[in-house]
C-alpha cells in the first residue's frame, strides 16, 4: 500500500500542477480583459456567458479551427519546433516551486538555479521562430527578443543573489522557511524591484513588449504563426506571467507564510496580486524605444543590482 501511495501521490501532484498552471493561463486571458476594461473605463468581455466567462472558450474554438499553416518559404522543421522550445521550459519550471510545505513536484536543492536555466532556454524558441519564418519582421523581432531577454537575465540573476546569501540556499522551500521572521522584501527591496522589472522584460510584456511591437514589426517573432502553434506562444506568455508572480511571492513575500488562512490560499492571494500588477502595467505605461529599454538595463539596473549585492554581502559579514 505504501509503495502504491508513493506512486499515486507524485502523479496527482504532477497532473494537478499542470492542470492548474494551464487553467491559470486560460483564466488570465479573461481576467486581463476585464481588468483592462475596468481601469480604462470601457467594456470588457460581457456577451459570451455570464460576465463574459465563456469568451475564453470561444477564443479557443476559434484558434483551433484556424488553419495550422506553415509558410512555403519557412524552414518547416524549425518553424514547428520553435513554439514548443519556448513552452516546455516555462512549464518545466513549475516543477521546482514549493507551493506549500508538502506540495512540490521536485524539491530540488538547486531549484532557483533550475529556474534561471529554464528561463535562459526560452530564448532559443524566440530566436528559432524569428529565423525559421524567413521574414524580415519576424527576424527583427527575434533579434530584439534575444538581446532583451539575455540582457535582463543578467540583472534578474544578480537580484536573486541577495536572497540566496540571506537564506544560505538555492532551495525554494528553504528560502520560504527562512522568511518566517521577516519577509525578504524588507531587506531586499531593491532586489525585488529589479527582479520584478526583469521579469516583465523576460515575459516580453508591456511596456517591454518591443519584440512584438505591432506598430513597428507587425507581430514580431510570431508574425507568421497561426492555429495551435500561435496558441503555444500565447499560452507561454501567460504561463510566464504566472511563473514570475509565483516566484516574487516565494522569494520576497514569504510564499505560503501567513496567519489564519491555509498556506496554499496565501500563496494564491500573493500571486494574484502580482498578476494584477502585470496587467496594471499594461494598462498604464507607454512603450519605450528599444534603445531606451536597453540603456535602462545596462546603465540603471546593472549598477543597482551590483550595489545591492555588495551592500547585502557587507551587512552579512558585519553581522558575523
Q: Which of 88, 112, 117 is nearest to 98 (CA)?
A: 112
What's the pLDDT at 6? 64
Grid cell digits, residue 196: 520584478
Burial 97-127 (b: 16+ CB within 10 A, else e): bbbbeeebbeebeebbebbeebbeebbebbb
Query: For residue 286, what is the DSSP state?
Result: P
d(CA 31, CA 227): 22
Q: What is the DSSP letter of 221?
A: G
Please name the residues in contact with 202: beta carbons below 8 A apart, sequence gap of 6 or more.
119, 149, 152, 153, 156, 240, 244
Distance of alpha carbon 229 from alpha carbon 141, whole angstroms: 17
Taking a C-beta distance cutoff of 8 angstroms, is the pair 146, 294 a contact?
Answer: no
Cα gap 244→236, rounded to integer Å: 12
Q: What is the rounded CA–CA span in Å between residue 195 and residue 185?
A: 11
Return the C-alpha cell found at 102. 508538502
- 3-class SS at 176? helix
Count of other CB atoms within 10 angstroms of residue 4: 8
Of 310, 124, 160, 145, the C-alpha closest to 244 is 160
For residue 313 the three cell numbers come to 554581502
Q: Provide CB contacts within 8 A for 141, sequence distance 6+.
A: 130, 211, 212, 217, 219, 220, 221, 222, 223
Residue matched to cell numbers 513575500: 253
Q: What is the pLDDT of residue 28?
A: 87
- Rounded to two decimals, the pTM is 0.91
Q: What is the dihedral of CA 13, 17, 18, 19, to 10 degrees?
A: 100
Neighbours of 234 (CB within 10 A): 18
The upper half-sphere exposure of residue 128, i.e. CA atoms within 13 Å in the direction of its Cβ, equals: 18
**How far apart, in whole angstroms, are the C-alpha atoms of residue 91 and residue 118?**
9
How many residues in total does the chain contain? Answer: 320
Q: Does residue 152 contact residue 126 with C-beta atoms inside 8 Å?
A: no
Q: Which residues of 246-282 are buried (b: 16+ CB within 10 A; e: fewer)?
A: bbbbbbbbbbbbeeeeebeebbbebbbebbeebbebb
> How far is residue 60's CA from residue 159's CA, in Å, rounded to a whole number?
37
pLDDT score, position 70: 81
d(CA 94, CA 108): 12
Residue 311 is predicted with a pLDDT of 93
Query: Cell for 267?
Result: 500563496
pLDDT of 4: 61
Q: What is the pLDDT along the chain (320 residues), one digit of tens a residue?
A: 566 666 677 778 788 888 888 888 888 888 888 888 888 888 888 888 888 888 888 888 888 888 777 888 888 888 888 888 888 999 889 988 988 888 788 888 888 999 999 988 888 888 888 888 878 888 888 888 888 888 888 889 999 999 999 999 999 999 999 999 899 999 999 999 999 999 998 888 888 887 776 666 677 777 788 788 888 888 888 899 999 999 999 999 999 998 889 999 999 999 999 999 999 988 888 888 888 888 998 999 999 999 999 999 999 888 87
Amino acid at each position: 500500500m505504501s509503495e502504491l501511495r508513493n506512486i499515486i501521490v507524485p502523479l496527482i501532484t504532477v497532473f494537478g500542477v499542470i492542470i492548474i498552471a494551464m487553467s491559470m493561463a486560460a483564466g488570465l486571458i479573461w481576467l486581463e480583459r476585464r481588468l483592462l476594461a475596468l481601469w480604462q473605463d470601457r467594456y470588457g468581455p460581457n456577451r459570451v456567458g455570464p460576465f463574459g466567462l465563456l469568451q475564453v472558450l470561444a477564443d479557443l474554438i476559434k484558434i483551433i479551427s484556424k488553419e495550422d499553416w506553415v509558410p512555403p518559404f519557412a524552414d518547416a522543421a524549425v518553424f514547428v519546433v520553435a513554439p514548443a522550445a519556448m513552452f516546455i521550459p516555462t512549464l518545466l519550471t513549475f516543477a521546482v516551486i514549493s507551493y506549500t510545505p508538502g506540495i512540490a513536484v521536485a524539491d530540488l536543492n538547486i531549484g532557483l538555479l533550475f529556474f534561471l536555466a529554464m528561463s535562459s532556454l526560452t530564448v532559443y524558441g524566440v530566436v528559432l521562430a524569428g529565423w525559421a519564418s524567413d521574414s524580415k519582421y519576424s527576424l527583427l523581432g527575434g533579434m530584439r527578443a534575444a538581446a532583451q531577454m539575455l540582457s535582463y537575465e543578467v540583472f534578474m540573476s544578480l537580484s536573486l543573489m541577495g536572497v540566496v546569501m540571506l537564506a544560505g540556499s538555492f532551495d525554494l522551500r528553504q528560502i520560504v522557511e527562512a522568511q518566517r521572521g521577516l519577509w525578504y522584501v524588507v531587506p531586499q527591496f531593491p532586489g525585488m524591484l529589479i527582479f520584478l522589472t526583469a521579469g516583465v522584460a523576460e515575459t516580453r510584456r508591456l511596456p517591454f513588449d518591443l519584440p512584438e511591437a505591432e506598430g513597428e514589426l507587425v507581430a514580431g517573432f510570431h508574425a507568421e504563426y497561426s492555429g495551435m502553434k500561435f496558441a503555444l506562444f500565447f499560452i507561454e506568455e501567460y504561463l510566464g506571467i504566472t511563473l514570475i508572480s509565483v516566484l516574487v511571492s516565494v522569494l520576497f513575500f514569504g510564499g505560503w507564510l501567513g496567519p489564519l488562512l491555509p498556506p496554499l490560499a496565501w500563496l494564491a492571494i500573493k500571486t494574484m496580486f502580482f498578476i494584477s500588477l502585470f496587467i496594471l502595467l499594461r494598462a498604464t505605461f507607454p512603450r519605450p524605444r528599444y534603445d531606451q529599454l536597453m540603456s535602462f538595463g545596462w546603465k540603471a539596473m546593472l549598477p543597482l543590482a551590483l550595489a545591492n549585492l555588495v551592500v547585502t554581502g557587507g551587512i552579512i559579514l558585519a553581522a558575523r
